[in-house]
């Protein structure tokens, strides 16, 4: 048990870290509003937000970049928290909506909706995304069961296999129909561009419900980290917490995928970046991942706009390019 003098310092440090995270998030929002195919001065951005400026750059800020920034905040926060809860529920540091096949399940279901039912708007395919994400989560969990217990290694391997299978089925559907290919390929790259706030409205209730569930299970996730038997001895209903935590991950990931496409590695990276700063207490870790997920996604989106100016690189491509080395490093660390 830490000395009494150490506990208050740690308690003070965690809120300070979150406040610093809020400041970094505000900076990322400012950069997202100011940078793009053509830079806009921060003074003009502020005037546009307060209604003091109109036309030209002000219309670009309010009409294009504000919705893009809001969507990036919501999607990034959802993916970051989903990764933290997934790792807590499974006790697997490599767990995330991507590595567990949840993103792939949602993507396959959405492409199926586009192929079979000519869906073209999140309001039409959001429930397909939720169903696909939930189905993938159940399959990954079933493959990871061994003698009634959850095997973290089998869970990671099962999620990887499931992702590969679903990705191949998704590609087959796209190749079978030029219309599906045209409508889905841009969405599958993972992008925030060309989306208005109307795209966010249908999925926002799901993401909010997932966020509430994620925060509600955080005390029990601390007990799960001790092992199932220890958690049960402490009075934690392990099966119910796993179901609620899994439902939170599904809702957060499915809502994010329905809006922006399958953006990879945000859910994997956020907990590993936050844990050294806030510790392993999920009551601090999950809120920290909400902030960090938004920071990572907005930073990746800004980077994609800057490096290929006047064009841009889709945010899903940027996160995959930066996240693949991180996954390799984490896998090597886990193997040691």
Tokens of 97: 């909506």
Domain positions in the chain are: 21-335
Q: What is the DSSP code (8-state) at residue 121?
A: S
Question: Is the dihedral angle over the CA atoms 239, 241, 244, 250 positive or is it negative?
Answer: negative
What are the tens digits of pLDDT across the range 121-141? 777 888 898 899 989 988 988
Q: Is 310 buried (19+), middle (13-18) or exposed (0-12) by CB count in 10 A? A: exposed
Q: What is the pTM of this model?
A: 0.90
Summarised one tens digit per residue, pLDDT across range 169-220 is 999 999 998 888 888 887 788 889 878 888 888 889 999 999 999 999 999 9
Is the preceding omega at residue 7 within 30 degrees of 0, hence cis? no
Indicate the fold that domain 21-335 takes in CATH: ABC transporter involved in vitamin B12 uptake, BtuC (1.10.3470)
DSSP string, 227-260: -HHHHHHTT--HHHHHHHHHHHHHHHHHHHHHHH
> From its phi and psi, is residue 54 left (phi > 0), alpha (psi between -120 and 50) or beta?
beta
Answer yes or no: is pLDDT of 148 > 70.
Answer: no
Contact indicator for 283, 218 with CB cutoff of 8 Å? yes
Taking 90 as the threshold, does the pLDDT of residue 165 lie above it?
A: yes
Contact by Cβ (8 Å): 236, 220: yes
pLDDT tens digits for 5-64? 444 455 788 999 999 999 999 999 999 999 988 899 999 999 999 888 777 888 899 999
């Amino acid at each position: 048990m830490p000395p009494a003098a150490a506990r208050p310092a740690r308690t003070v440090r965690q809120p300070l870290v979150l406040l610093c995270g809020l400041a970094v998030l505000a900076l990322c929002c400012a950069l997202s509003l100011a940078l793009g195919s053509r830079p806009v001065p921060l003074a003009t951005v502020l005037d546009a937000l307060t209604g003091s400026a109109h036309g030209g750059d002000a219309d670009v800020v309010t009409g294009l970049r504000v919705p893009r920034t809001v969507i990036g905040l919501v999607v990034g926060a959802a993916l970051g928290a989903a990764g933290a809860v997934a790792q807590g529920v499974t006790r697997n540091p490599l767990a995330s909506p991507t590595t567990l096949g949840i993103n792939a399940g949602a993507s396959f279901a959405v492409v199926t909706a586009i192929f079979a039912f000519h869906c073209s708007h999140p309001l039409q395919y959001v429930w397909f995304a939720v169903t696909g994400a939930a189905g993938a989560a159940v399959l990954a969990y079933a493959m990871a069961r061994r003698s009634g217990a959850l095997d973290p290694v089998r869970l990671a391997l099962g999620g990887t296999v499931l992702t590969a299978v679903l990705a191949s089925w998704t590609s087959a559907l796209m190749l079978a129909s030029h219309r599906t290919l045209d409508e889905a390929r841009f969405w599958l790259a993972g992008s925030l561009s060309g989306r208005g706030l109307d795209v966010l409205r249908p999925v926002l209730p799901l993401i909010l419900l997932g966020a509430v569930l994620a925060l509600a299970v955080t005390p029990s996730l601390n007990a799960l980290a001790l092992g199932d038997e220890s958690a049960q001895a402490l009075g934690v209903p392990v099966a119910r917490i796993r179901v609620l935590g899994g439902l939170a991950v599904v809702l957060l990931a499915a809502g994010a995928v329905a809006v922006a496409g399958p953006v990879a590695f945000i859910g994997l990276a956020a907990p590993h970046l936050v844990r050294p700063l806030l510790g392993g207490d999920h009551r601090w870790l999950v809120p920290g991942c909400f902030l960090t997920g938004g920071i990572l996604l907005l930073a990746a989106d800004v980077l994609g706009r800057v490096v290929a100016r006047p064009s841009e690189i889709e945010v899903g491509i940027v996160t995959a390019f930066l996240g693949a080395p991180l996954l390799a490093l984490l896998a090597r660390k886990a193997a040691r």
